[in-house]
Amino acid sequence: MPSAESARPLVVTDDTVLLDDLLRLAAAADTEVTAVSSAARTGRYWSEAPLVVVGADLVGALADAEPPRHPNVVVVGRAPLPCAVPDVGVYADAIRIGARDVLTLPDAEQQMVELLTEPAEHAAGEAPVVAVVGGRGGAGASLLAVALALAGRRARLRTALLDADPLGGGLDLLLGAEHAPGSRWEEFSDRQGRMVWSALRDTLPHAHGIPVVTWNARRPCTPVPPAAMRTVLGAAARGCQLLVADLPRALDAAAAEVLRRATVTLLVLPADVYSVVAAERLVPLLRESVADLRLVVRGASPDGLSAQTVAAVLGLPLEGELADEPGLDRLLERGDTPANRPRSPLASFGDAFVARLCSAPVLPA
């Protein structure tokens, strides 16, 4: 019997044209399926399959076999179905097997893609969400968010990067992808409810293989409505293996949505008195929203404040220290991507953090 981890949607049809259509839709959903060509061959896969798609050509034979009830069965055929009258033909047989719906292609292709995507996302669980926020302006939160996303990509995780700071410079700019084609926040501001990650991902600009949700740098930025943030966050968390979000220091309603979903929140600040005082004002607000708040200190030195001293003053666990990035200003002026070089302190920190995050059990946010 297939294990729950390896179970795939089950397609039951002997109609080669319909099968080709369903395999094409499964590819669009980034989902592998198990296909059988007779009702008699479903027994091995029926109970383990998260979704069963029964072709209109075999629904009668399957109903005659009286399989056990399955919670997630749909019947699919090409229009027109043999009989479009409820309680007769295909519809009657669909009722007999407890199907939740009868769909016709090509009209229901998008719905079929969404149905095929849901089981894969559910089986994978939700990705850990790492929120990054600066303890003061210019602390380097955006740089760290980029570093973590690149580290996730190097670790072969399906990674997404979410820009939640409407007044920031733009994560796509840091990645050298400000001209990459794709939809920005402006196109999603009125979205709410549920979105399928595979469909959303394909509309986004990509940099270094990472889909990026950000703003159009050439337009005035407005805050993301909380409902739109919930929708995009939910889709990305279900479809990815790592989601990194860059938050504004002035936490708005959309940032609050990210913090509520965050697995780990990293507060980044330089090791100086001004930064510590600024961070002291922000820490109580963060503690109200997140269960796991950790500190990342930049530029600590024996001659100034140590990272341990900063952590003690703020009362936060120290996740790590970041040395200054060599030649950072020149990299940014040339449009090169930081945190993407073998000796980069940002890259080293990102790789180590992602390795720890993936090896530790992730508790629900």
Give one word for 30, left, alpha or beta, with left for phi > 0 and alpha for psi -120 to 50. Answer: left
Identify the CA nearest to 9 among candidates 172, 156, 119, 141: 119
| Per-residue pLDDT, 189 | 80
Closest by CA position to 14, among listed 38, 32, 31: 38
* 85 and 141 part of one domain: no
Does 144 lie in the same domain as 111? no
The answer as to whether 364 is a domain residue is no
Distinct helix (H) and strand (E) counts, the chain:
13, 13
**Is 31 within a domain?**
yes
The domain in which residue 137 lies consists of: 126-359
Is residue 1 in some structural domain?
Answer: no
Last residue of a domain, one of 75, 91, 123: 123
Residues 199 and 294 in one domain: yes
Alpha helices in 66-196 (DSSP H): 90-96, 109-124, 141-154, 171-174
| 73 lies in the same domain as 153 | no
Report CA 155 to chain centroid distance, whole Å. Answer: 16
217 and 107: one domain? no
Residue 2 lies in a domain: no
Domain-located, residue 297: yes
Query: What's the rounded Cα separation, in Å, for the pair 125 and 21?
Result: 27
pLDDT tens digit at each of 365 positions of the chain: 344 334 789 999 999 999 999 999 999 888 889 999 999 889 888 888 889 999 999 999 999 988 888 888 999 998 776 544 344 578 889 888 988 888 999 999 988 988 887 765 555 557 899 999 999 988 889 999 999 999 999 999 999 999 999 888 888 888 888 888 999 988 888 887 777 787 788 899 999 999 999 988 766 678 889 989 988 998 898 888 999 999 999 899 999 999 988 999 999 999 999 999 999 999 999 998 888 999 999 988 777 789 999 999 999 999 999 988 777 777 777 767 777 777 889 999 999 999 999 876 544 33
Q: Are 305 and 276 in contact (CB under 8 A)?
A: yes
| 8 A C-beta contact, residue 1 and residue 7 | no
- Helix residue spans in 240-319 (DSSP H): 253-261, 273-289, 307-314
pLDDT of residue 364: 38
Domain count, the chain: 2
